[in-house]
Structures are given as C-alpha cells and as structure tokens.
Amino acid sequence: MINRARVETVDIPVHAATLRGDLSVPAGARGLVIFAHGSGSSRGSPRNRYVARVVREKGAATLLFDLLTSSEEVTDAVDAHLRFDIPFLARRLREVTVWARAEVGGPLGYFG
C-alpha cells in the first residue's frame, strides 16, 4: 500500500523574509528530504513534485521550498544578483534546515 500524506503549505521565517514551502509528512516518516529551489525552478515544478511524491512513497517526509521570495524572484529576473549570491543562498538553506529540524526532526537529506 502506498503511504499517502497531505501536503501543507507552510511559511518559513528566515532573516528579514518569509519563504513559502510545501511540507508533507507521511505517517511513520523515517526522515526528511528538503528540496531547495533557486532561480529557474520552483517548488511547483511538476518534475520536482513527482520526485517528492516518490520520496514520500518510500517513507520520508518532504519539504519543497523556494530560496527566494516572489518579490526577490522578480528582481533577480532582471539583474540575476541573488541567484549567484552563494553566501546568501547558503544562509537561507541553513535557516530552513533549522526550522525543518524543529518541525519534523529525524535524519535529513537535500535535493536541489
């Protein structure tokens, strides 16, 4: 039997911003896979959602989120300054990881 879980939209507080994410924790989840998306892809991508569904079917929770807010995406589309700011993106990923550990716990991995 496939382990189905409801996907819940969550707001993740990070320094000076709030990031949107889709969290799904199947019953008995044995860990969490964080799907980090930057410019050019998003948590809504059909490919990313498919991979997340397969991961959940194997018994892990998933968190799909975008590293940039919607307004940052608009700005970045013009000047591309955030998509290459690795320290900025790494801080975001670290803050989301701290949030996810508090919300879900267990071992975790990344997909991006």
- Rounded Cα–Cα distance for residues 79 and 108 (Å): 33
Say whether pLDDT at 4 is over 50. Answer: yes
- Rounded Cα–Cα distance for residues 39 and 9 (Å): 20
Task: Give the least confident one: 2-6, 27-31, 40-44, 90-94.
Answer: 2-6
pTM of this structure: 0.86
In this structure, the strands spanning 32-37 and 61-66 are parallel
- DSSP state at residue 43: T
Say whether pLDDT at 2 is over 70. Answer: no
Cα dist from 66 to 3, 36, 39, 40, 75, whole Å: 25, 6, 8, 10, 15
